[in-house]
Chain A
């Protein structure tokens, strides 16, 4: 079973609109971390935002916010006032306290911002 599910393979959004990228996760650990990364066409992986499982408030970083709904195991990324430079692949990821301690990634959502 997938640990991280991103159900939107691709999205097209008009510039200046807000965007919500969906992410659900599966874990039985009470302690975990959730991350979003951006991968532009140049290929590098850029960290956007982090949410800890015990954090009471939703994380925000500039135009990025994470809509964390713990009971639903949902960690959607919200981008406000989208810009052309937001066109990229976006990955939701989770780190659990397992032996290998790795970060597990979803398959990604490709976001296209239209002028």
Chain B
């Protein structure tokens, strides 16, 4: 089944404890992206990647890191999480760049930082 797999679904952690949210897609998609969703603010892009070893900041990159060593994987790293990073996170991928390509989303990761 074609999908984007995100783990974990739920995570509660403490301030400052490094964590990684994994994202993997099996569709050979070039473009991958991380979003966070917050009430009243909608979905905002954190980082994106056009292809392997090509990543760039989105609208809200502070406090996050990413890497794209393989085409299928695009992990999101929080080196020192803070409570303001409590949010619902989505990994998404699309076949390529282009206005006619939509995203396939992962199931989301609900992160709580205490």
Contact = CB atoms under 8 A, between A and B. Distances in A.
Interface of A: 31-33, 35, 37, 43-47, 50, 52-53, 91, 93, 95-97, 100-103, 105-108
Nearest to B109: A43
B99 A102 contact: no
Contact of B33 (A33, A43, A47, A102): A102
A44 B108 contact: yes
Nearest to B6: A44
A95 B45 CA distance: 13
B99 A95 contact: yes
Contact of B99 (A37, A53, A100, A108): A53
Interface residues of B, number: 25
A95 to B, nearest CB: 5
A52 B99 CA distance: 8
Interface in B57-114: 58, 88, 90, 92, 97-105, 107-108, 110
Nearest to B96: A101
14 contacts: A33-B98, A43-B107, A43-B108, A45-B92, A47-B102, A91-B43, A95-B98, A97-B98, A100-B45, A101-B31, A102-B45, A103-B92, A105-B43, A108-B42
A106 B40 CA distance: 10
A47 B100 CA distance: 13
Contacts of B58: 100, 102
A31 B101 CA distance: 12
A97 B99 contact: yes
B102 A43 contact: no
A33 B102 contact: yes
Nearest to A96: B99
